Amino acid sequence: MEFRVLGTVAVATEDGAFLALGPAKRRSLLAMLLLRPNTAISVDRLTEALWDEEPPQHSRTVLQGHISRLRALLAEHDAEAYGIELVTQGPAYVLRMPETLIDAHRFEELVTLARGDRAPGDTVLMLREALALWQGPALTGTVTSPPLQAAAHAFEELRLAAVEALAEAYGELGEHGRAAAVLRTEAVAHPLREPLSAALMLALSRSGRQSDALEWFHRTRRLLADELGVDPGPVLSETYALVLRAGVPTAKATATAAPGAGTGGGAGGGFGPVSAVASGGGVESAVEGGGEGGGKGEGRAHIASAIPELLPRRPRGFAGRRAEFAALDRATAGQYGAIALVTGGAGVGKTALAVHWAHERQSDFPDGRLFADLCGYSDTPARQVTVVLREFLLALGVPVQRVPETEAGMGALYRSLTADRRILVVLDNARDSEQVRPLLPGGDHSVTLVTSRDRLGGLVASDAARPVRLDELPAADCTALLAAVLGEDRVAAEPAAADRLASLCDGLPLALRVTAARLAARPQWSLAALAGELADEQRRLGLLRVEDTGVAAALRLTVQQLPEQARRMFRALGLHTGSELDRYSAAALAGCTPDQAAAALERLAAAHLVVESGPQGAGQMGSAHVGSPHMGPVHMGPAHVAPAHMGPAHPGRPDAYTLHDLVRLYARALAPEADPDGLTRLLDHYLHTGLVATATAEPGSQPCFAPPPGARRPAAVREFEDRQSALAWYEAERATLRGAVAAAIAAGMHDRAWRLVLLQWPLILWRVRDGWVPLLQQALESAELEQELDAQSRTRALLGWVLHEEGRFDEALAQLEKAPDLARRAGSVTSEAVARINLALILTQYGEVDRAGDLLGQALALAGRARDRSTEMLAHQHLARHFLNAGDHRLALDHSRRGLELGPSPEAIPRRVLLRTSHGEALAGLGRTQEACGQLGEAVREAEDHGYEEGAAAARARLSELATLGLRPPDGPRMSMRPGTE
């Protein structure tokens, strides 16, 4: 019996099975007893470890219950035969046992022995054996409490010290590349541990990689400055100086290293050759096993006679994946020791693909096929390399008495036996690259197929593994998978429901198989009925579980393997209001900087929990509907309606990530563990970003609101290069902003809800017929609850315009009629001016021309009183058109001229084009045709220079009308005419 605390707390029996310890508190109780075996631990101390906060009233009873279950479990597996007994000693408990049964005790014993005056080769073997006992972070699976956290931290410090000692021993052997490989993994995981970075720099420099050593120093220096605001300490600085001078002395043992030292690989290479020599026996002696009369080659040939077949059975109901099959064929064809790496998220079917491909390609591997589930993402601890190597050696025909005792010896023998074979090795469910490397076969002819939920970039970099990414199944393959379980007739009878099930399952084979299992067990159910139940997001993950198999369980195993920063980010994503986000919104959710968020998102992407969705195109916005160029709506005062073709033509967000629905639902289930202020930070992030986007999309506009009291500005706010990129952001975030409004309302934050709607006004005007009414009605309700009169006026003005564009004229007029008075009561002169302009434009279409003219005149006066030049210009624009329609060309000329004098800025170009066109029409109406041609030609030129095609077309149309009268502009076909005189 073996007790493990260096990783997930577990108890393993002699046959390798693990006891079912039960909930986390029982596992934590066992961990506390194992930390101090043969020592009485008080009930108070155990209670402190099991309940981080105030323990419940009956905590002692709960504790006694867990003790009783542990006793029963140990007795059931004959623990007494191993000298193990859990006894009560007054107000305390003692776990009596031989300490050698605890992996932590063996680890500390080996590390202590390695510290003695030993040869470097022996030190390497001892430390590697000690570190091999670790199966993950210490005390995994226990509750979060100070006593257990302190113990886990102490264990981690011991492990890091052992890693540093191992690297030092490699250095003494002259194996600086291996020292660097050992140190790099830990330096990446502990980037602020300066001694570790210094040791890595020395190892890199000594292995001839001075530039890498210097780069690592600068990386660490930047991290120290960004995270702690400090400069490198003396150790790191002195190491940098040594490396910079290229004067790093090599270890004293380099020149006298044992035979074979220096023959191993560089960073990330195997440890076989040096370790085998250091242990006193080479590969051949291990194979030969001694004995008389037999040569070395004969011994090896005798052992290598077995043809291993360890593949599990072919998966049932396998469907599709033709493209991935072809990719695997390419990845494994004609390469030196080819390694194919199948990566993808939980439940996407990696194992099924690998095993199916291995069965299909059986004839390509006449010397056998090996398979091992490495349990990298599993409830059971990850498989030890020595255990897997022992299985492989036995399958390859090595007699049990000839299997080497050390990992190094096993690895050397394994690589020797596979060196000349055409063999397939399938390593399933790998956690990281280090878990895979010792299991790679030797020689040029074998093929290794690895599956993992992680990208395993280290394996790609060090061993030229060729990735084959596995994504969700397309709809046709989903249907085929369902039909394989349910029968083709049942699926064919409800094709639409089958497609909906595929969508609700995100195309995940695991989810589809669970769905099929539910339907198979209930032949009376229709596919549509189950699809209806799955549509309920609150129940979906629960329905996608059958016994111990389910999507949530698979995702949990992925999440628990993440580093803490990435786990914290994943929990925070559960508060997100959309399916897509960038580093800025992620930073708001997690309460960190955008750079920290980007690093966490990259780690989640490597684990296939989020998907890098890449640039978000927005060219489709060119088809947006806007109002007539002569009477474009205005909402936030100085805004104008830009022509549709001036929309974004390039991507809006190059750093976007997407959460698939099932992953998003699982993150949402974890959201209560996240920061409770995360939602507020997210809403404030969108408010501040929206204000920046509005200022960029409409440079002449004033902010449509001030942030609400208590709103916090994010650590960093996205900036936009130009109008196009700002509008593209609005388009990309539209669904997320809609979700943010709903979340704000649900949380009672109405002061943010109406603001989140109004900040979208540039996009609303762009896509005025795109179904905005429900959202604007939500904003109006929130503004009324907050008694924000100005917000009510602005919302009604915009809502009225949208309703008008949808043909709902009576409703539109009802909203627009109320807007001016609300703005007046709020004391917002600009809002009142805008509301009167919008109402006037609608009344004109109802034939109430006189009232419309009065409203426009009032708006002009209000804008002048507010000294709002942009709104004045807008009022002049519409008054010029009003008087043109009335046939009063002199007043039209006066308003168009005064409007032009107000708007020389670039952002006013569309409005200037419209005013200049009206100016030309007024001149023509007064008989000043040559001046009219000049003004219209100038309007065409200005519109073309700024891409305003509708404005150019309108000006050309007026010029054509003048041309029918025999008038031609003097500057030729481009009609680029300066104003002239009669």
Percentage of residues in the chain having pLDDT higher than 90: 23
Q: How confident is the model at residue 236, as a pLDDT?
A: 87
Which residues 6+ apart lie within 8 Å of 929 measured at CB? Answer: 923, 962, 965, 967
Q: How confident is the model at residue 278, as a pLDDT?
A: 26
Side chain identity at 379, as an amino acid letter? D
The better pLDDT of the pair 639, 359 is held by: 359
In 3D, which of 932, 980, 931, 982 has the Cα closest to residue 958? Answer: 932
Q: How confident is the model at residue 138, as a pLDDT?
A: 92
pLDDT digits (tens, 9 = 90+) for 689-711: 999 988 888 776 677 788 898 88
Q: What is the DSSP string of 299-342?
A: HHHHHTT---B-PPPPPTT----HHHHHHHHHHTSS-TT-EEEE
State the average pLDDT over residues 43-61. 85
Beta strands in 434-583 (DSSP E): 447-452, 466-469, 545-546, 549-550, 580-581
> Is 70 exceeded by the pLDDT of residue 210?
yes
Q: How confident is the model at residue 782, as a pLDDT?
A: 94
State the average pLDDT over residues 708-734. 87
> Is 80 exceeded by the pLDDT of residue 53?
no
Instruction: Determine the distance from the C-alpha atom of residue 376 to the mean position of all C-alpha atoms in its chain, rounded to a whole number.
Output: 21
> Is 70 exceeded by the pLDDT of residue 851?
yes
Q: How confident is the model at residue 638, as a pLDDT?
A: 32
Give yes or no for a contact between 581 and 657, defined as CB atoms under 8 angstroms apart.
Answer: yes
Q: Give the Cβ contact number of residue 80 at 10 Å.
A: 10
State the average pLDDT over residues 813-833. 91
Q: String of b and e for 908-917 (b: at least 16 CB within 10 Å)? A: bbbbbbbbbb
Q: Give the pair of three-digit tokens for residue 839.
A: 């109402």
Integer CA distances (angstroms), 957 to 395, 632, 927, 936, 937, in order: 86, 19, 18, 9, 11
Q: Average per-residue pLDDT in the chain?
A: 80
In this structure, what DSSP letter does residue 99 have? G
> Is 70 exceeded by the pLDDT of residue 640?
no
Q: Give the Cβ contact number of residue 792 at 10 Å.
A: 25
What is the 3 state secondary structure string of 340-383?
EEEECCCCCCHHHHHHHHHHHCHHHCCCCEEEEECCCCCCCCCC
Tell me how far apart the alpha carbons of residues 809 and 801 are, in angstroms, rounded to a whole number. Answer: 9
> Is 80 exceeded by the pLDDT of residue 18?
yes
Give yes or no for a contact between 763 and 698, defined as CB atoms under 8 angstroms apart.
Answer: no
**Across 72-76, 96-100, 300-304, 503-507, least confident range:** 300-304
Tell me how far apart the alpha carbons of residues 771 and 892 are, in angstroms, rounded to a whole number. Answer: 36
> What's the pTM value of the predicted model, to 2 decimals?
0.58
Q: How confident is the model at residue 519, as a pLDDT?
A: 85
pLDDT digits (tens, 9 = 90+) for 146-174: 899 899 999 999 999 999 999 999 988 88
> Is 70 exceeded by the pLDDT of residue 129?
yes
Confidence band for 297, pLDDT divided at 50, 70 and 90: very low
In 3D, which of 568, 607, 610, 616 has the Cα closest to residue 589? Answer: 568
> Is 70 exceeded by the pLDDT of residue 314?
yes
Confidence band for 643, pLDDT divided at 50, 70 and 90: very low
pLDDT digits (tens, 9 = 90+) for 726-740: 888 988 899 999 999
